[in-house]
Structure 1
Amino acid sequence: MNNTPHIIQEGSVQYQIGNQKGNQIIYDFPKMLIYLEAKGKLLFGRNFKIYPEDEIILYKLCIYFIRDIETCKKLEIDPNKGILLSGPVGCGKTSLMKLLPFIVPHQNQHSLIPARNITFSFNKNGYKIIEDYGNNGFYCFDDLGVETTGRHFGKDCNVMGEILLSRYDLFLKRKLRTHATTNLNAQELENRYGIRVRSRMRELFNLVAFEKESIDKRV
């Protein structure tokens, strides 16, 4: 077990993102931002940077990932639910959901899977894919809502909708969280997946949203 998860080694550089007091780690948000920018450059290239206008979003996400229960309550974030990170194309949703688990190396890490890849797998392998992603594992479904309708042996299926219903059952039984990113707003998600799935999503996820005006950082 890692007894110093607040001290992270990247090559020859050591980042201390908090201080230990007894059995508790007191995290330091500015130091976390320094580490996240450095790790982002390693993962995504030297042009990666943390934008000041995104720091409010990052603060919420960091508080959630480090499981600061008191601050989560103040921010109306349920640490037992997953994260639904929404925002316009290119605002950095996928990068952040790849990056943030690195601040908590002692916790179980989610696998980030594009929703469209799951649908492609369904088209080839059928309903086993819904079982594979719906009944087990710790996932972040990336770009939820842009995937096509699944089709296997001539039968159409709203693959991600079915998986989300299964993940809801999994959440109730085993408290296993689910994360997702999406470009769609609440009404678009309801149009895409139906009222029943949208209702389950409210119970599955904390909504964390970028501003509609967030710039495309890929330009």
Structure 2
Amino acid sequence: MNHNPTEQNTSTQEQTKTIQSHYSYTEIIVWLEKKGVELYGNHFKILESDYSIIYKLIAYFLKDEATCFQYNINLNKGILLSGPIGCGKTSLMNLMKHLTPTEHKFFVKPCRDISFEFIQDGYEIIHKYSKGKLYQSEPKTICFDDLGTENNLKYYGNECNIMAEILLSRYDIFTSKKIQTHITTNLSASEIENVYGNRIRSRMREMFNLIAYDKTIKDKR
């Protein structure tokens, strides 16, 4: 990655006020808030206490290399957005779709919906959300929303941890085709390991930049 030294003359501390970028992050936040009101209604508001999270997401999804460098964000990896229930993870990722350049567009898919599709269609669903064999020839970038809310399900008597299987397949296309995956979850790293196993956890370290809300943040709902 080519870093311009004139763009790197700021502190690397995670303070939003120190960001120097050719983008105006304050203007982008105003625009995102307007977009949020359009999508979610007049009660939608971006709180100043969330700016440190949102600045990182903006930097990543705009591919702002200098700012990502300051935040130690790897543009080759996806985003794992972690935080308590009701902190606004899903709505933020839906907003980021509107910032993302066309070639990096992604869609948001709730993990619970995938588990229901698995009951209906079985193991084809793993291919649908990994290699893309059912509906398109190429895999796509996907944000799996609310990882951990799906259940282990039985299909013809065989139990399957559907998201674990999908994530293993997504790891393969990440390493072979550089296609990214994003995730939102309220699980901690140790809870992810308990639910999906240490094999998944180690692959997730390779696949994702972790951006985490403070556990004490209030439910915004």
CA contact (8 A) 2:109 2:144 kept: yes
- In structure 1, list runs of 5 or more residues that go unmatched: 1-24
CA contact (8 A) 1:32 1:103 kept: no
One of 176, 179, 188 as aligned partner of 2:179: 176
Within the alignment, does 1:186 sit opposite 2:189 as a pair? yes
Aligned-residue offset at 1:103: 2.2
| TM-score of the aligned structures, taking structure 2 as reference length | 0.85
The superposition leaves residues 10-54 of structure 1 with CA deviations (integer Å, 9 ceiling, x where unpaired) of xxxxxxxxxxxxxxx921000001000000000000100000100
Cα distance in 1 for residues equivalent to 2:62 and 2:130: 26
Cα distance in 1 for residues equivalent to 2:101 and 2:60: 14
One of 43, 46, 66 as aligned partner of 1:47: 43
CA contact (8 A) 1:84 1:179 kept: yes
Opposite residue 103 of structure 1, the aligned amino acid is L
2:166 — aligned with what? Answer: 163
The superposition leaves residues 101-123 of structure 1 with CA deviations (integer Å, 9 ceiling, x where unpaired) of 21235443211000011111111
The superposition leaves residues 143-198 of structure 1 with CA deviations (integer Å, 9 ceiling, x where unpaired) of 00121002100100010001000000000111000001000000000000000011
Cα distance in 1 for residues equivalent to 2:126 and 2:193: 20
| TM-score of the aligned structures, taking structure 1 as reference length | 0.86
CA contact (8 A) 2:97 2:107 kept: no
1:82 — aligned with what? Answer: 78
Identical-pair percentage: 51
Aligned ranges for residues 116-195 of structure 1 at < 5 Å?
Answer: 116-135=112-131, 136-195=139-198
Cα distance in 2 for residues equivalent to 1:164 and 1:68: 27
Opposite residue 193 of structure 1, the aligned amino acid is Y
Within the alignment, does 1:59 sit opposite 2:55 as a pair? yes
Structure 2 SS opposite 1:46: coil
The answer to which of 85-94 and 96-105 deviates more is 96-105
User: Could you say which structure has the higher strand fraction?
Assistant: 1
One of 212, 216, 219 as aligned partner of 2:219: 216
One of 195, 203, 206 as aligned partner of 1:203: 206
Opposite residue 178 of structure 2, the aligned amino acid is K
Runs of 4+ in 1 over 4 A off after TM superposition: none
Opposite residue 83 of structure 2, the aligned amino acid is G
Structure 2 SS opposite 1:103: coil
Within the alignment, does 1:36 sit opposite 2:32 as a pair? yes
CA contact (8 A) 1:145 1:182 kept: yes
Within the alignment, does 1:73 sit opposite 2:69 as a pair? yes
One of 106, 112, 116 as aligned partner of 1:110: 106
Cα distance in 1 for residues equivalent to 2:100 and 2:141: 15
- In structure 2, list runs of 5 or more residues that go unmatched: 1-20, 132-138
